[in-house]
Chain A
Amino acid sequence: MATNHEPDVPANHNEDRRTFLKQSSLLTALALVPGPVVSAAEAKLDERVAEAIEQVPLSLKVNGKKLKLKVEPRTTLLDLLRENLHLTGTKKGCDYGQCGACTVHVDGQRVNSCLSFAVMHDGQEITTIEGLADGDKLHPMQEAFVKHDGFQCGYCTPGQIMSAVACVREGHAGSEEEIREYMSGNICRCGAYPNIVAAIQDVKQGGQKV
């Protein structure tokens, strides 16, 4: 996988699809060839075919940085962030969209990054926990989590914070009960919930820009 930080250029999807189809027919043809020939071709051919068809171009803006990438279509946004871009602040807690540890913002909306393929986000803007602070200055929600001790082990914390920022922006932080309801997609097994709710209320009541 290659990353490159040059200005964004729209990917030529049509051309890519044609290449894909051509390669696919090659695969179909191979499947019709008698067994011994295939085994003679061995894994190396599989490998070359796979290399050719498994990579799809993708343009993303991640934490303000434009990226032109090539990714496998089956790579989730979460795995792209963690394994390919080394933005490991976004956590894998279940991989089924049930725990919220992988919450990021896609075009400003909170999203479970494990539940979508990276290629579905072509042209979109992703914000992860690493992109929330303004340089050395923490985001008010990050500050509030530290002040109220809104975490213990810290693993669900990036997801909680990304979700909490969205919760306030959506206007769903009006009361303790409302916060609890709209934060229930983010599990904290350490059980720091009371402190997380306190942190969100503090930010909401402080009226700072989130």
Chain B
Amino acid sequence: MNAPEKKIGAPMNRVDGRQKVTGAAKYAAEYDLPNMAYAVLVGSTIAKGRLSSIDTKAAERAPGVLAVITHLNAPKAPGAKPAGKDPSQPQTVGSALQVFLDDNIRFNDQPIAVVVADTLERARFAARLVKAQYAPEKHQTNLEANKANAFLPTQAKKNPKSGAADYQRGQVDAYKTGALKLEAEYVIPTEVHHPMELQAITAHWEAPDRLTLYDKTQGTMATRRDFARQWGLPEANVKVIATYVGGAFGNALHSWPHESAAIIAAKVVNRPVKLMLTREQMFTMVGYRPYTWQKIGMSATADGKITAITHESIGQTSTYEEFVEATLGQTKMMYESPNLTTRYRLAALDVGSPIWMRGPGEATGAFALESAMDEMAFLLNLDPLEFRLRNYTNQDPEKNRPWSSKFLKECYQAGAERVGWNKRQLKPGALRDGEWLIGYGMGVGTFGAHRGSSKASAQLLPNGTVLLQSAVTDIGPGTGTAMTQIAADTLGLAPGRIRFEWGNSDFAQAPTQGGSAIVNTVGPAVQEACLALKDKLRELAAGGNSAFASAKKEDVVLADTHLTLTGNPTARAPYTDLVKQAGGTAVTVESKPSGEGQKVSMYSFSVHFAEVRVHELTGEVRVSKLISCADAGTIINEKTAGNQMKGGAVGGIGMALMEHAIIDDRFGRYVTKDLADYHVPVHADSPAVEVFFVNKPDPYVNQLGTKGIGEIATIGVAPAIANAVFNATGKRVRELPITPDKLV
């Protein structure tokens, strides 16, 4: 038997492609359960204060209404805790704002009631009949006005080694005494994830103590743990299904108020309840990239060596959760700088909690750092690429450890060639095409190559198909496809004989999809489960055929209908016999990091090169070329990984040029309420992004050699565009987004 063609690295079509192009893929609000009821939230119209009265009579009397639930009549979940008791609790998933526990209002549009009816139209109508009165208090929704109240996050106070703690090497704020220095402030406004699928949940109490959730979540197990705790149930009694997730970008890393509301509603009406947020509600209660102020001070020698960097940031959080992200991480390790100072602070405002948004804090920090690199190169009259090369790090200057792998120079070279960097002029505004000014810019990104522990299960089906299961979700990167390829290579089978099932908390436990860590973490578990299955099958076959007893698992071959051995085709054990044996064929393994990674620093790296055209009269910016190059270790699927890189780059265009959620501070309420006033990139904004992968395995992260793609696809894109705009126009925009008014 010929070994099948290697699948790892191949540009295989997605295993769920057919489901997605035919409309058969079912998302959280698309399960048709008998006797379904519909829930619609009523939100507060003040940002801070108390609910003094709430009149639900008219809503209760409206046709089709089954229940109107408020803090006055909601059943209390045994484990429910009002928010705000300890905002420093880790917020990963588990301390979300739970609804209807008290009359406190903590942000505008906080759910104060949920209306449940037999149809969506009736629920929506009745929700408008709920009338609330408030005792408002003075709110704070503006970060700039609250910078003086910024504080060191509790986790940093408790643990000086925390990434959020102040960091120092060399002299404090040494840039101030540098001969050649710059000091600049940068602002990232609030940006909203806005996945195309609105946040949705279908909650179904199958018994008084058994809850099933069809939920938009990035972590089926985390959501299960959270709501099991909230309702005082054993985890086994809560099942979370998230087979298809219509994009998330971080927004489904947390449990949110509407999920609590739907579960309470389903309990009250004793029917399955479906709740889908409106686009307007997506701004207010399901997280966002926080408004962040940053300041960079940098000094360098005349020959382009950085001597000191100070990077400070103040990010917005809510009053009831301390949301912390790694805004200053890249600054600590990307460039050689003997003196380095970082200070990370939070300012608590009367808003909903933020949550990591693609690239998260690193993308925010990279906008400031990579813009400052461009500014310093300009001061030095140096090519920004050359400036970066002069400060390239061959080992991690933060931890003083070697890199597990770093091929960023290869990325620099590939990207520069592809974008036509040699056309770039040092002097801004030197290139034009009629009324369009042309500029080139670059931005670097990095993100930790994280790998955790994960389980995976495998079993043989009578027809020779191997069924693999994992609780992991696939929010769009193609996790299911990558795992199928890994299994195909490990088992020596065509991908058509692998069935990988995901997105169910009852499956083998796996981490939440996030932090670019899924292939790193679940990939090895799938591989090891496949090897364990081979060995299990060999053992089962040994009873009937002694050749299998002495064979090695590497020699086990899964033929079409039977198990056999390399070099011994007479050894045959039909699948139909193997699956009948007592105990079955199923194996579950847990794969953990080896610990070798402790000796090195593990990061993915990327660089993005942009060519922009800026209209000299209108200030319109068009991204005409975008080249994204990544050192992300082994690439499992060139097609889906390339798509992920392109998507991250498109997200970066949004960050650079258009995304801006605006609060009217007089009312503490968002004035951007939909996709007509919160702009995200559309087809016409997106060039044909070109992607380059180094595709060399990392020897430390895991046996597959992967490092992760999701975040580095976005980190560094916004500064690449901002730097290109400077090169085109000579105008340095330090406050995103770069809208035409800032250029004319």
Contact = CB atoms under 8 A, between A and B. Distances in A.
Interface of A: 42-43, 46-47, 49-51, 54, 72, 74-75, 79, 82-83, 86-96, 98-99, 101, 128-130, 132-133, 138, 142, 145-147, 149, 151-158, 161, 176, 179-181, 183-197
A187 B682 contact: yes
Given A87-B23, A192-B643, A96 B16 contact: no
A155 B22 contact: no
Interface in B680-701: 680-684, 686-689
B683 A43 contact: no
Given A142-B21, A152-B477, A190-B247, A94 B674 contact: yes
B24 interface: yes
Contact of A129 (B22, B120, B125, B643): B22
- Smallest CB-CB A-B distances: 5 pairs: A89-B23, A191-B650, A155-B246, A154-B20, A191-B647
Given A95-B278, A138-B18, A147-B13, A189 B30 contact: no
Contact of B63 (A46, A128, A187, A189): A46
20 contacts: A83-B120, A87-B23, A88-B23, A89-B24, A90-B23, A94-B674, A133-B22, A142-B21, A145-B21, A149-B13, A152-B247, A152-B640, A153-B246, A154-B244, A155-B195, A157-B21, A187-B682, A189-B247, A192-B647, A193-B686
B61 A42 contact: yes
Given A51-B63, A74-B121, A96-B674, A152 B245 contact: no
A187 B196 CA distance: 8
B27 interface: yes
Given A138-B21, A157-B20, A187 B198 contact: no
Given A43-B60, A142-B21, A155 B675 contact: no
A152 B62 contact: no
Contact of B196 (A75, A88, A179, A188): A188
Interface of B: 13-14, 16-27, 29-30, 32, 38, 60-65, 119-121, 125, 193-198, 244-249, 276, 278-279, 475-478, 639-640, 642-644, 646-651, 674-676, 680-684, 686-689
B61 A196 contact: no
B476 A50 contact: no
B684 A92 contact: no
Nearest to A90: B23
B196 A197 contact: no
A118 B674 CA distance: 23
Interface centre among B475, B651, B674 (most CB of A within 10 A): B674
B196 A93 contact: yes
Contacts of B14: 146, 149
Interface centre among A75, A93, A149, A185 (most CB of B within 10 A): A149
Contacts of B642: 149
Contacts of B681: 191, 193
A1 B196 CA distance: 29
A47 B63 contact: yes
A29 B63 CA distance: 18
A49 to B, nearest CB: 8
A130 B688 CA distance: 30
A181 B22 CA distance: 25
Nearest to A76: B121
A72 B278 contact: no
Given A91-B197, A94-B279, A191-B650, A149 B688 contact: no
Contact of A146 (B13, B246, B477): B13
Contacts of B60: 43
Contacts of B649: 191
B495 to A, nearest CB: 14
Contacts of B475: 153
A154 B675 contact: no
B196 A72 contact: no
Given A46-B63, A72-B121, A154 B686 contact: no
A146 B23 contact: no
Nearest to A43: B61
Contacts of B29: 88, 92
Contact of A151 (B20, B32, B193, B675): B20
A129 to B, nearest CB: 4
Contacts, number: 197
Contact of A86 (B32, B64, B646): B32
A156 to B, nearest CB: 5
Contacts of A142: 21-22
B276 A92 contact: yes
B661 to A, nearest CB: 15
A184 B392 CA distance: 40
A190 B476 contact: yes
A202 to B, nearest CB: 14
A74 to B, nearest CB: 5
Contact of B61 (A46, A158, A185, A188): A46
Nearest to B26: A88
Contacts of B648: 191
A186 B685 CA distance: 12
Contacts of A195: 643, 646
Contacts of A72: 119, 121
Contacts of A183: 683
A99 to B, nearest CB: 6
A157 B279 CA distance: 18
A9 to B, nearest CB: 25
A48 B688 CA distance: 58
Given A133-B22, A189-B249, A191-B648, 17 more contacts: A47-B64, A74-B125, A83-B38, A88-B27, A88-B29, A90-B23, A93-B197, A98-B674, A129-B23, A145-B17, A151-B20, A152-B477, A184-B683, A186-B682, A189-B680, A193-B682, A194-B687
Interface centre among A47, A129, A151, A155 (most CB of B within 10 A): A155
A191 B197 contact: no
A50 B683 contact: no
A46 B62 contact: yes
Nearest to B474: A153
B33 to A, nearest CB: 11
B720 to A, nearest CB: 15
A155 B194 CA distance: 12
A129 B19 CA distance: 11
A180 B648 CA distance: 18
A98 B19 contact: no
Contacts of B643: 149, 152, 190, 192, 195
Nearest to B19: A154
B689 A194 contact: yes
B675 A54 contact: no
Interface centre among B23, B194, B198 (most CB of A within 10 A): B23
A197 B688 CA distance: 9
A28 B23 CA distance: 45
Given A46-B61, A154-B246, A99 B196 contact: yes
Contact of B121 (A75, A92, A94): A75
A153 B38 CA distance: 25
Given A51-B63, A191-B681, A154 B25 contact: yes
A155 B247 contact: yes
A197 B686 CA distance: 10
Nearest to A88: B30
Contacts of A185: 682
A149 B640 contact: yes
B686 A156 contact: no
A46 B60 CA distance: 11
A122 B248 CA distance: 37
B121 A156 contact: no
A155 B197 contact: yes
A92 B198 contact: yes
A54 B65 CA distance: 15
A149 to B, nearest CB: 5
B196 A184 contact: no
A158 B688 contact: no
A189 B278 contact: no
